[in-house]
Amino acid sequence: MKINIWKYSLLLLLSVGVGCKKDFLNKYPLDQITTVDFWKTGNDLKLYVNQFYPAAFNQPMGDQLNGDFAADAQSDDVGLVIANPRLQGSRVVPATGGWGYTNIRALNVFMANYDKVEDPFNSYKDYVGEAYFFRAFFYFNLVKEYGDVPYIGTPLNTNSEELYMPRAPRNQVVDSIIADLDEAIELLPAGKQEGATRLSREIALLFKSRVCLYEGTWEKYHVEDEFKVDNPQPQKYLELAAQSAKAVIESGTYAVYSTGEPEWDYFNLFSRVDYATNPEVLLWEKFDLSLKKGNAFQFQIATGKSGGIGLTRSFVDAYLCKDGRPIYLSNGAENPLYEGDGTLEKTAANRDPRFTQTIFTPGFPLQAVGSDTTYFQRPTVADPAHTRCPTGYQMNKFLNFDPVHHASLETLPVGYTGWIVFRYAEALLNYAEAKAELGTITQQDIDMSINRLRNRVAMPPLDIAAIEEDPNWQFPDLTPVLNEIRRERRVELILEGFRWNDLARWAAAEKTLVGKRPLGAKFNTTDYPDLNASDFTLTDGYFDPLKSQLPGGYGFRPDRDYLSPVSTEELTLNKQLVQNPGW
């Protein structure tokens, strides 16, 4: 790989390609590239950091289990046509691959060279802030996947001793991530940038709250298992999480999207082609028909398909009734709001309006062209695997009714509805959870966070002094307010890539996964008059799509599967590396 190739690649906006196949063996002297004809202007820095936007945020174009969907597919919220390897407990130590330091090394090159720019610092400091953010982002992905990882903050060459350094403790890496985010917060501009398509100070604050909430709860709940850290300081991180989320809230820049239509506002939030002026969206990804850039999963949703995934009964049961009470407390003679789960219509009746704005029910609009509307008929439980809804609870979240935005015979079968990367609702949920974990939450905190989300869908506000005990709380050993905040997070953020990370940081697999089955809806002749129960795998009348693959329920191993294994190749190349627990 020649240095002049790198220079031309950068200048032509092609992939910088600063990586190599073996992250800890073949290290090129990347800190010496482009010293002559690059790093001259602030625009050079902008061109350099542009590459990290698709690397960090791009939603893949495939139609099955991609991006955020794939992340949630490792949780108890999603049922699949093929068992997820982590949930099945079938993963093995890979021979090669892993770590993935390519982007981090490219960012270290940036850090070593940006001060060579001759323009005034204030004219390009935004891009330095972006680089700090992205380095934090990629390191956080490594920590979530592997825990302890080698921390490298400078460009390396083939003789660098750091190539053979041991893994740094995860909390030390997180402290470095926080330091980078603090730099980003200082340097990035406030408010929406370029129509909410570039990073801002509030995005860095939101991400800092995510990182700190993750590490704080990880250290709190993994305190006695194989994944604990030495000298845990959960309170430190939880306080930082609350402070950072509150800063986003108090910035006054963002708000919960609402037009006063509680039966549609949550749904409509995710069905837009453009989010430049949406008050809830901090960052989004644009899909463009003219560039044939889109997302095939959106196309599946818009044509009544499901891409091989469905939501689970466990998730659906989390929705409260419209009176704010759990289904098992709203089914008595005095207040029989819950009508059971005999049919989709009954299951959805009298529930939190987010139910029907997330899950298809018969008669829900599918496509609308003028006065001509096509309606959803029934879940695709009998479709081929790649379009099937294996659980009978089929998602309508992210649907756009206008077929112009999700298909064209002259282009690819993809969707063009915009994809939200960061939204304000997460700041509200992070703040509430951090305060509850600290034991300092007040009704005022709930009103400025959880109840703003409930107000959008006209749900009764959460009153922390009057929470009824739900006999089916997933975490009965925790406080009532934590249970309800976790419920709210689960419902509000479904299919946005949070659930697996939440279960991991809460050390919650034993309560939510181990030995349990990913059941779906109940088979019935009302929803499926043309189908026979004998054609499906059922358990107690409920769709059980993975019964043959998971005969004993989820095979997740709590002593091993919270983290991924380090490849044999990496362990061979660097004798100071140690394998993760259980592998």
What's the Cα-to-Cα distance from 261 to each of 257, 265, 354, rounded to whole Å?
10, 6, 12
pLDDT at 159: 82
Question: How many other C-beta atoms lie within 10 A of the C-beta of residue 363?
Answer: 11
- 283 strand-pairing partners: 422
Query: What is the distance between the alpha carbons of residues 110 and 500, in angstroms, rounded to a whole number?
Result: 32
Query: What is the distance between the alpha carbons of residues 14 and 151, in angstroms, rounded to a whole number?
Result: 27
Query: What is the distance between the alpha carbons of residues 483 and 489, in angstroms, rounded to a whole number?
Result: 10
Q: Which runs of consecutive H residues, i.e. helices, occur in 121-200?
A: 121-146, 170-187
Query: What is the distance between the alpha carbons of residues 539 and 54, in angstroms, rounded to a whole number?
Result: 42
Query: What is the distance between the alpha carbons of residues 197 and 192, in angstroms, rounded to a whole number?
Result: 8
pLDDT at 70: 72
Q: Which of 369, 360, 408, 402 is nearest to 273 (CA)?
A: 402
For residue 283, give the H/E element and its range. Answer: strand 281-285
pLDDT at 68: 67
Cβ 480 vs Cβ 514: under 8 Å: no
* Alpha carbon 161 to chain centroid, angstroms: 35
Q: Which of 95, 265, 111 is nearest to 187 (CA)?
A: 111
Cβ 343 vs Cβ 527: under 8 Å: yes
- 321 strand-pairing partners: 351
Query: In a 10 Å sphere around its CB, with 0-12 CB exposed, 13-18 middle and 19+ buried, how is residue 342 labelled?
Result: middle
Torsion of the alpha carbons at 478, 171, 25 and 160, rounded to the nearest 10: 180
pLDDT at 98: 78
pLDDT at 20: 35
pLDDT at 413: 67
Query: What is the distance between the alpha carbons of residues 9 and 19, in angstroms, rounded to a whole number?
Result: 13
DSSP strand E in 514-576: where?
538-539, 542-543
Q: Is the dihedral of CA 181, 182, 186, 192 positive or negative?
A: positive
Structure tokens at 307: 């891409």
Torsion of the alpha carbons at 144, 147, 149 and 151, rounded to the nearest 10: 70
- The dihedrals phi and psi of 74, each to the nearest 5 degrees, come to -95, 20
Given the structure tokens 């009153």, which residue do they identify?
Answer: 463
pLDDT at 423: 97
Query: In a 10 Å sphere around its CB, with 0-12 CB exposed, 13-18 middle and 19+ buried, how is residue 524 labelled?
Result: middle
What's the Cα-to-Cα distance from 365 to each of 362, 398, 577, rounded to whole Å?
9, 13, 54
Cβ 310 vs Cβ 379: under 8 Å: yes
- 311 strand-pairing partners: 78, 393
pLDDT at 162: 79
Instruction: Classify residue 197 by its DSSP letter.
Output: T
Cβ 74 vs Cβ 65: under 8 Å: no
Cβ 522 vs Cβ 379: under 8 Å: no
Q: Is the dihedral of CA 97, 150, 231, 245 positive or negative?
A: negative
pLDDT at 572: 93
Q: Give the CA count within 13 Å in the CB-facing half-sphere of 464.
A: 20
Cβ 252 vs Cβ 397: under 8 Å: no
pLDDT at 228: 97
Q: Give the CA count within 13 Å in the CB-facing half-sphere of 151.
A: 18
Query: What is the distance between the alpha carbons of residues 495 and 195, in angstroms, rounded to a whole number?
Result: 24
Query: In a 10 Å sphere around its CB, with 0-12 CB exposed, 13-18 middle and 19+ buried, how is residue 412 labelled?
Result: middle
Query: What is the distance between the alpha carbons of residues 78 and 94, in angstroms, rounded to a whole number?
Result: 25
* Alpha carbon 343 to chain centroid, angstroms: 30
pLDDT at 412: 61
Per-residue tens of pLDDT for the chain, all 583 residues:
222 323 323 333 323 333 333 333 333 344 444 456 799 999 999 999 999 999 998 766 554 445 666 788 899 999 999 999 999 999 999 999 878 899 999 999 999 999 999 999 999 999 999 999 999 999 999 999 999 999 999 998 878 887 889 999 999 999 999 999 999 999 999 999 999 999 999 999 999 999 999 999 999 999 999 999 999 999 999 999 999 999 999 999 999 999 999 999 999 999 999 999 999 999 999 887 676 677 777 778 888 889 899 999 999 999 999 999 999 887 666 668 999 999 999 999 999 999 999 999 999 999 888 888 999 999 999 999 989 999 999 999 999 888 776 655 355 667 788 889 999 999 999 999 999 999 999 999 999 999 999 999 999 999 999 999 999 999 999 999 999 999 999 999 999 999 999 999 999 999 999 999 999 999 999 999 999 999 999 999 999 999 999 999 999 999 999 999 999 999 999 999 999 999 9
Could you tell me what percentage of the chain is helix, strand and coil, using 3-state DSSP and rounding each to the nearest 5? 40, 10, 55
Q: Which of 53, 286, 283, 45 is nearest to 187 (CA)?
A: 45
Q: Which of 139, 142, 134, 51 is nearest to 98 (CA)?
A: 142
What's the Cα-to-Cα distance from 179 to each of 166, 183, 211, 313, rounded to whole Å?
21, 6, 12, 41
Query: What is the distance between the alpha carbons of residues 402 and 393, in angstroms, rounded to a whole number?
Result: 23
